[in-house]
A and B are shown apart, each in its own frame.
Chain A
Amino acid sequence: MPASDRLKDLVNQMPEPDGGGTYAGMDEQKVARAQTVVAELLKSGRAGVIGLIDLLVEPGKGDDVKPHFALHLLAVRAGMPGHGKARAEFARAVASQLTADRPKAVKKYLIEQLQVAGGKEVVAALGRALFDEELCDVAARALAAIGDGAAEQLLAALPKVKGKGRLSIVKKLAFLRAEGAGKAFRNALTDDDPNVRIAAAWGIARIADASAADALLDCAEARKGWERINQTDACMVLAENLAAAGNKPAAAAIYARLRKTRTDDSERHIRAAAARGLAAVQ
């Protein structure tokens, strides 16, 4: 259902950018108008949110400066403390449009607003967006920002998502220190994509998976260049996290192996760092 005339008139009250296309000329009056528009939109509930979304267009297809700005301000306002119910209503309304017939660029923008104001109530919708190649990365970012309930969505999607999206998912599982992702990380250590292998190594380090230490060290030693640099760092971080968790023997084993095996002059900083680490846990 297209936006009503009343809604269009309301959104049209948002400030115009200046001649240079910026809001450098915001004055008290323009600020007050923006705040009034947003307050009215907040009161308008689901219908108002969807009507506002109806006014969005993909870049290059028209002028949606005002609804674009209004939607973000609505997300920021709804996300403020004390707006719990309104925030959830806003988020659900936005999330409901991810499966509607809308341009991908508009959906990306909607997901960015869910990153601002979304909560557990929208993680399922974002989880479904993971299967869309164009939306996967932005959906994974939003899930990582929301946190609560995100790991389950990412874990469920990982076996089924192909292409670049897999990297986004593995990275965000690592970021979340997702319990239950250990097997996924270990499997991904031998992925065809070196970037996925690097992300998996980081994940193992983040969750301090002692059982994967030897596999990680083997991988790092077998690689060269960029991948070796990154996976070796993952070994160091794994040792640090194990030590912090109280598993000093496991940490010591990693440090000892790094100190022993990194003999080239180009990796003397690794030997030195491993020596310091070993000294700290012994």
Chain B
Amino acid sequence: MPQRPGGLSRRGFLKSAAAAGAATIVPSHVLGGRGRTAPSDTITAGLIGCGGQGGEDLRTYVEAAGTKYKVLAACDVDARRLYGVKKKFGPQADLYADWRRVIERRDIDVVSIATPPHWHALMCIAAAQAGKDILCEKPMTRFIAEGRAVVKAVKRYGRVFQIGTGGRFGAYNSPLSRSIHKIMRSGLLTKCPGVWIKKGGFPVQRYCGKVNLQPQPIPEHLNWDMYCGPSPLRPYHPHRFGWSHRYYWDYEGGGLADFAQHYMDPFQWIYGKDDTSPVEIEAVAPPQHPEACGVWAWVELTYADGMTLVLDGDKWGPRYDRKKARHVRETDLDEEARKKLKALPDPEPLLKFPEAVKTRKNSGGHVEAAHRAVTIAHLANIAIRTGRKI
């Protein structure tokens, strides 16, 4: 049976719902149960990270989907970033320096996480533990293992998760993409001849870190210790903070990590790869600095079914020339398989976040899909940093 996004079939959903008891099929808060706002009403939100992307996911995935939201709490390690919050989100927004206080709030439905990526996993896990639904900026995580921990926490508590990129929603609108998705999820194509090449669109050189940072005094308005958080506590330098955090392995992973989730989100949906990852990875790149992200040429990733994915930076070094891009087509199936394919249902529409919150189903950019998408970037960076074929 074709799987809906997130890999839960209708039969599987009903089985688990029945096992858990009928009362959990329609959670009381959907009906506006005691003390709870029905999801058709205003969503109450906590915002962690008030920099450039702070609040953007609420606008993109809640407001643009026709649902109102109200920010009740906002947090940032940089006190300056809190100055404009009440003006932007209203006087009701309480301001915090410690994100754990936001998580503790009982009146918040959704946590929107817009910090640098090295904090994302811990915050997502805590939000799920506290019963919040989650909007998380991309890239979802900094490491593969923490992504799996996020997936487990979100599933454990039945939370709704939406990653801060929505390319798959656009992909769904393409008949070609839906056709490929249907073929790939049908199980009828045993050996995949597809080659998907993403060439360019990664700021390879621009996102290189500086290797000669000298310690600077920590500004009074910044909690540097809290900013570093789970990453190594390094001497403060302004280049490690703000936009340029992207250029350092401690916090992100260069242009590849910063942009790959955008490109991989539609790719994964189109090619039905939301529940799997590449099994072989090869990269062409120079030796990498331990702290500062560097340049790279291309990365070739191969899936177990034979699908090839290529990320070509198109800025440094040689260009990828091993294979040519190639869609998967119906003609890749034999006649009998094509008949079976025609009988299968078309892919179901992807749920927008507010609808997912209401129905407790997976949103379009759900946690497993997002984890698998960013895992591609992590695998690529591992191959780049180790200089090994994985």
Contacts and interface: CB of A to CB of B under 8 A. Distances in A.
A20 B210 contact: yes
A76 B126 contact: no
Contacts of B197: none
Given A22-B210, A35-B287, A272 B158 contact: yes
Contact of B295 (A24, A81, A138, A225): A24
B154 to A, nearest CB: 11
B156 A273 contact: yes
A272 B235 contact: no
B367 interface: no
DSSP class of B's interface residues: helix, strand, loop or mixed?
loop
Given A22-B211, A31-B287, A276-B24, A265 B34 contact: yes
B104 interface: yes
Given A21-B210, A272-B24, A229 B103 contact: yes
Nearest to B145: A175
Contact of A17 (B29, B34, B211, B387): B211
A42 to B, nearest CB: 13
A269 B104 contact: no
Interface string B17-58: 001110010011100011110000000000000000000000
Contacts of A279: 19-21
A267 B106 CA distance: 9
Contact of A22 (B16, B103, B131, B292): B292
Interface in B200-234: 204-206, 208-215, 232-233
Nearest to B206: A24
Nearest to A278: B20
A20 B204 CA distance: 15
A34 interface: yes
Nearest to A18: B208
A25 B210 CA distance: 12
A217 to B, nearest CB: 16
B131 A268 contact: yes
A265 B129 contact: no
Interface string A24-63: 1110001100110010000000000000000000011001
Contact of A21 (B157, B212, B290): B212
Interface in A224-239: 225-226, 229-230, 232-233, 236
Contacts of A65: 211-212
B338 to A, nearest CB: 39
Given A23-B292, A229-B103, A276 B211 contact: no
A260 B170 CA distance: 45
B289 A267 contact: no
B122 to A, nearest CB: 11
Interface residues of B, number: 52
Given A31-B287, A276-B19, A233 B294 contact: no
Contact of A59 (B100, B215, B286, B316): B215
Contacts of B36: 265
B289 A69 contact: yes
B188 interface: no
B294 A26 contact: yes
A275 interface: yes
Contacts of B235: 59-60
B157 A269 contact: yes
A266 interface: yes
A229 B209 contact: no
Given A24-B295, A229-B130, A268-B131, A76 B103 contact: no
A80 interface: yes
A72 interface: yes
A30 to B, nearest CB: 8
Contacts of A270: 131, 157
A72 B291 CA distance: 10
Nearest to B158: A272
Contacts of B79: none
A60 B214 contact: yes
B212 A63 contact: yes
Interface string A122-149: 0000000000000001100000000000
A258 to B, nearest CB: 12
A269 B19 CA distance: 16
A266 B16 contact: no
A280 interface: yes
Q: Which 10 A-B pairs have the closest CB atoms?
A: A269-B131, A21-B210, A22-B208, A279-B19, A24-B205, A72-B290, A24-B208, A266-B106, A233-B129, A31-B286
21 contacts: A17-B210, A21-B211, A22-B205, A22-B247, A23-B289, A38-B287, A59-B214, A59-B215, A60-B235, A65-B211, A79-B386, A80-B386, A81-B388, A112-B290, A138-B232, A269-B131, A269-B159, A272-B157, A273-B156, A276-B20, A279-B19
